[in-house]
Structure 1
Amino acid sequence: MSAQREMKEKNPWHTPVTIIITVIGVIAIVALVTVAVLQNKPLLPKYKYGIVLDAGSSHTALYIYEWPAEKDNNTGRVEQTHSCKVKGPGISSYASIPWKAGESLTACMQEAKHRVPSNRHQETPLYLGATAGMRLLNMEDSLASDKVFQAVAAALQKFPFSYQGARILSGQEEGAFGWVTVNYLDDRLKQGLETTGALDLGGASTQISFVSDNYDGSESPSNSVTFRLYGNDYNLYTHSFLCYGKDQVLRLALAHQTLSGPRKISDPCFHPGYTDMKNYSVLYDSPCVSDRKPHGAPATFNHTGKGNFLQCQEVVKSVFNFTHCKYSRCSFNGVFQPRLQGPFGAFSAYYFVMNFLNLTDTSIPLDTVKEKLAHYCSTPWPEIRRQHPDTKLKYLAEYCFSGTYILTLLTEGYNVTSDSYSDIKFIKKIKGSDAGWTLGYMLNLTNMIPAEAPDVPLLPHAGYVSIITIMALLLAVLFVLSLRPLWPRCSKQPHII
């Protein structure tokens, strides 16, 4: 027993001080590792969401946007995460049965409900913006327009989002927000680069928007919009031509050809061999042409095609007025327009029509584009139907007209030349987001949504470094102290001479 006690007394690791030092050291090491792990764990970013419904003249589309809760130069970095095309026509088509306008949105709203995280539903803003179709309905019958909006509001408020209202966007807003979308997606706003103009073509209206060094807004203030994005100011020229979307301008062109109320017309903008019976009342059932309906016209007329591009251009030119301009420069219909500047992105119907015609490559000379379109228009209707069996006949029949209208609008209306035509880029999406006014609208609205504080590390960097340093020093001191029992033994070692 005495031998064991003597060995225990001689073993330095059995002393109380050493045990305490060891325990403290272990605790310090565990704490150091824990702090390091917690401090350097990956942070889950917080996101906010927004939903915008684009209620156009021909259809409605829903877009879901997502952006980090922290902001970049007071402008949220918005990305499109989902889109849904509403089945059926635009909400303005439900004027006589407004409840169906709201019902038509249900399927896409259900998709949005599942796409947006449930814990974000209550704070996700939901907007509906109506464009030219509802502008025309409001002009024609404001009471019917109000009832459609009431039905839409009732349907949207059934979902758990933060409904912010439904309203008609002005043409100026539609054009300006389309410009924001194109430049935002191309990173031109964030980097302060030269901006890209925006060309938007819908069913009932068309918009042109661009920044011009020669335009300060004084000559035509109604065409001026100012934005401040990413710390930069932009003075934008923008104009929207109501009734000059591809569907309404077709009515204008047909109205020009039926001024005398004929029973039959031979239309150069439709393929040879095309024939259809059209109703005068349906054709003139729009504020764009209602005052032009010929008196004493029969109930219907036979609409046939002859497929002549040059003659079609003359028909299209008839819907423009180039004779009146009180400004230094005009586009058409007496509307001021400064000289075109910079590249342009052309989207919506611009893209869909030119893509169908395989004419989106603007490196092809303009004369060659016209030749290709002329050949397409002259192709017999039966052959066109055989080549595109899956395309809806209504759309298929109108591509010759729509393509001719686009080229005429650009060259005659907006003064695009053979040289500047190559500056136009027909686009559908940019970096996964649809080109159109909705993203610009959402981007602008994020400036009004309070920024949410992001997740931060457990400790500030200086505090983290200080704690790590203190713990490291403590471990060093404990290590030295743990060797204390060995000090006397080392000092008592005999010196060798």
Structure 2
Amino acid sequence: MDTTMPGSKLRRCFSRKSAIILALLGMSLIGLIAVIVTQIHATRKNNKYGIVLDSGSTHTSLYIYQWPAEKENDTGVVKQVDMCDIKGPEISAYAHDPEKAGLSLKECMDYAKTVVPAGKYQETPVYLGTTAGMRLLRMQNKTIAEKVLSEVAATLNSYPFSFQGARIISGEEEGAYGWITVNYLLGNFKENYSVYTHSFLCYGKEYALLQKLVKDIQRQATERYQDPCFHPGYRRTVNISDLLTNPCLAGSLPSLPFSQITIEGTGQYDSCHTSVQRIFNFTYCPYSRCSFNGIFVPPVYGHFAAFSAFYYVMNFLNLTEVSMYEAVQKIKAFCSKPWNEVKAEFPGVKEKYLTDYCFAGVYIMIILGNGYHFTEENWPYIHFLGKIGESDAGWTLGYMLNLTNMIPAEKPYTHPLSHITYISLLVICSLAVMALLFLGFKFFVQPKCMRKAII
């Protein structure tokens, strides 16, 4: 039996059919890849970006947001994709050297260039909003405040993004944008709302502490005094002039025979509570219901979001999930700890912040209890929030949401292929690839022309 086959005939058999199968297989694979890449690339390139810089009373942060160009209910679906904390203080601290205010932003702006795709630079808006620090600087010296904003604008304009301006955000705007952020992230926008906001300028945590110190100095009029809002064993020397340069405190101290005071901590919660209460007026109220200093406050009901300093302080003290009574007891215990023990327990926390947590805890309990009228019964409805999902709780996302609505509406984007067509082509190309692979396997394992040659 002759099982041989001439080499030329075998080569012709493989060459014809293999070429056809390989060509069809290649075309099917190219088609499959092209469908996938085209659809995915079209989706990815349609993202838009926005940058918001928040310069508050203590520091500046940069937030990078992303949303699809197509609108959903006329509002861009905005999410935070990254953030950068700017080294150094907030921009109002550069009042004596405004140029450095702009330079301080460069490191984070350079970082933003690595996050936003280069092809999106020119269409990416950049906004800088300043809050309490610059509001106070403007009250003190409008010319210098404008110079600081000018230097900041010059720096931001030097980047390839679309700089849209640097402005001082009012307290009412800050409150409203914060409300928008929280409710947007929690998915609560199902109807229209009536919103009440009020900003207590000079009563944020940092300025409230300064007010307390000034009132203590007024009462004691001594170079050394014991402060119940600092830990036992804590000592600090403060220049009187540093207190009086703040517009919240200007003219509040009489002429004193000394230029410095030395604070010695005693860590007594009840005495600290009394000391902090003095900066608020809880008795005067021309309305049916007030918070403090004669300012109206609506009745307390529903759920409440407490963020920014409220969250950071209560989270540090581990009080975000406890009752009102437990919170008071834990703050009492914390305040009474000797300063050297506190430093040993929290070696990674900067002393600048660590020194103020006792005061801050007492201050928050007074604001929420005496000011906003929370009680043991409704305390569980306060939610101390740092982040919601991947986004920081604060006013910047609400600001960006508002700004995306001001961008002219584009024609809704449509993918190159409809969903049904895309799926259908994927199925067809995939089946074609599998069928050709099967035929190729059968053909190359035992070619038909080889079988016919067997005698």
TM over 0.5: yes
Give 1:372's aligned amino acid: K
TM-score (norm 2): 0.82
Structure number having the greater strand percentage: 1
Distance 1:302 1:451, change over 3 A: same
Alignment pair present for 1:268 and 2:228: yes
Alignment of 1:347-426 (within 5 A): 347-361=307-321, 364-426=322-384
Q: 1:459 to 1:332 in 2, by over 3 A?
A: closer
Whole-angstrom distance in 1 between the partners of 2:266 and 2:36? 75
Asked if 1 retains the 8 angstrom alpha-carbon contact of 2:55 and 2:129, the reply is: yes
Change beyond 3 A, Cα 1:258–1:40: closer
The equivalent residue for 1:281 is 241
Return the TM-score normalized by structure 1.
0.76
1:236: which partner in 2?
195
Tell whether the 8 Å contact from 2:130 to 2:167 is kept in structure 1 after alignment.
Answer: yes
Q: Kindly indicate whether the alpha-carbon contact (under 8 Å) linking 2:61 and 2:83 is maintained by their aligned counterparts in 1.
A: yes
Matched, 1:42 2:39: yes
1:250 to 204, 209, 219: 209
2:278, 2:318 → 1: CA distance? 27
The residue type paired with residue 95 of structure 2 is A
> CA–CA distance in 1 between the matches of 2:254 and 2:352?
25
Structure 1 spans left out of the alignment, 5+ residues: 1-26, 193-231, 466-497
Deviant stretches of 4+, over 3 Å:
33-44, 457-462
The aligned counterpart of 1:314 is 274
Return the alpha-carbon distance in structure 2 between the equivalents of residues 162 and 446 of structure 1: 14
Distance 2:352 2:204 in 1: 16
Superposed displacement of residue 455, structure 1: 3.6
Instruction: Please tell me whether residue 167 in structure 1 is matched to residue 126 in structure 2.
Output: no
Pair 1:68–1:380, CA change in 2 (3 A): same
State how 1:145-160 maps to structure 2 within 5 Å.
145-160=145-160
- 34-43 or 134-143: bigger deviation: 34-43
The aligned counterpart of 1:180 is 180
1:174-213 deviation per Cα after TM superposition (whole angstroms, max 9, x unaligned): 0000011111111112xx2xxxxxxxxxxxxxxxxxxxxx
**What is the identity percentage for the equivalent residue pairs of Structure 1 and Structure 2?**
50
Aligned to 2:400: 442
**Distance in 2 between residues matched to 1:100 and 1:296, nearest whole Å:** 34
Distance 2:96 2:32 in 1: 67
Partners in 2 of 1:347 and 1:323 — Cα distance?
27
- Partners of 1:103 and 1:78 lie apart in 2 by 29
| Partner in structure 2 of residue 54 of structure 1 | 54
Q: Deviations over 1:416-448 (max 9, x none)?
A: 111111111111111110110000000111111
Structure 1 residue 390, shift from structure 2 partner: 2.3
8 Å contact from structure 1 (residues 40, 457) kept in 2:
no
Q: 1:98 to 1:41 in 2, by over 3 A?
A: closer
| In 2: Cα distance, 1:371 partner to 1:126 partner | 45
- Read off the aligned partner of 1:242 and give its amino acid letter: L
Cα RMSD, aligned residues only: 2.5
Higher relative contact order (Cα pairs below 8 Å, separated by 6+ residues): 2
- Who wins on radius of gyration, i.e. which is larger? 1
**Structure 1, residues 40-64: CA drift from partner, whole Å, max 9, x if none?**
9634421111000001111100000
Could you say if the C-alpha distance between residues 275 and 40 of structure 1 is closer, same or farther in structure 2, counting changes exceeding 3 Å?
Answer: closer
- Please list the CA deviations of residues 370-411 of structure 1 after superposition, one character each: whole Å capped at 9, or x if unmatched: 111101101111111111222221211111000110111100
Q: Secondary structure at the match of 1:63?
A: strand
Match of 2:64 in 1: 64
From the superposition, tell whether residues 54 and 40 of structure 1 become closer, same or farther in structure 2 (CA, over 3 Å). closer
Residue 302 of structure 1 and its aligned partner are, at CA, apart by: 1.2
Q: What is the number of equivalent residue pairs in this alignment?
A: 396
Question: Residue 35 of structure 1: CA displacement?
Answer: 11
Provide the C-alpha distance between the structure 1 equivalents of 2:89 and 2:32, rounded to a whole number of angstroms: 59
Partners of 2:39 and 2:415 within 8 A in 1: no
Residue 304 (structure 2) pairs with residue 344 (structure 1): yes
List alignment gaps of at least 5 residues for structure 2: 1-23, 425-455
Q: For the residues of structure 2 that align with 1:377 and 1:159, how far apart are their CA atoms?
A: 47
